[in-house]
Amino acid sequence: MTIIENKDGILSDTISAILVTNNAYDAVILADGTACMVSDSVFKDFLNEQDGFSSWQSPDDWRQEGSKNIVEAADTYGEWVVWYDKEGKLHIEDDFKWEERKLFYSCNA
């Protein structure tokens, strides 16, 4: 695996999933290549994820769109809101957008 850093020095091989937004849609980008468009149920599943996203599936695969790693894919899809590391810890990149997304999807996490 090629290890790439994002603008803040986060290594791509430490990331399990990234929630991004681009003002048109939200997406969850997974390390295995999966890209899921976010709905209410996907957002709630993202918040409550327990198995490291191993059971998530989608017909969308960011590797087929030319991205080389999860960091590059997330940057292509939109702005980072939050991300999970491989240990399951949630990291908030943008507090305002995170609160806005939770409100939009009616979650009180």
Number of domains forming the structure of the chain: 1
Helices (H) and strands (E) in the chain, counts: 3, 5
The mean of the pLDDT values for the chain is 86
Radius of gyration of the chain (CA): 13
Give a yes or no: residue 5 inside a domain. Answer: no
Task: Determine if residue 106 is left, alpha or beta; phi over 0 gives left, psi from -120 to 50 gives alpha, anything else beta.
Answer: left
Cβ(21)–Cβ(43) below 8 Å: no
Give a yes or no: residue 71 inside a domain. Answer: yes
Give a yes or no: residue 56 inside a domain. Answer: yes
pLDDT of residue 17: 94
Domain that holds residue 66: 12-104
pLDDT of residue 20: 97
Quick: pLDDT tens for 48-67: 887 788 888 888 889 998 88
Give a yes or no: residue 3 inside a domain. Answer: no
Quick: pLDDT tens for 5-31: 454 556 777 899 999 999 889 999 999
pTM of the predicted model over 0.75: yes
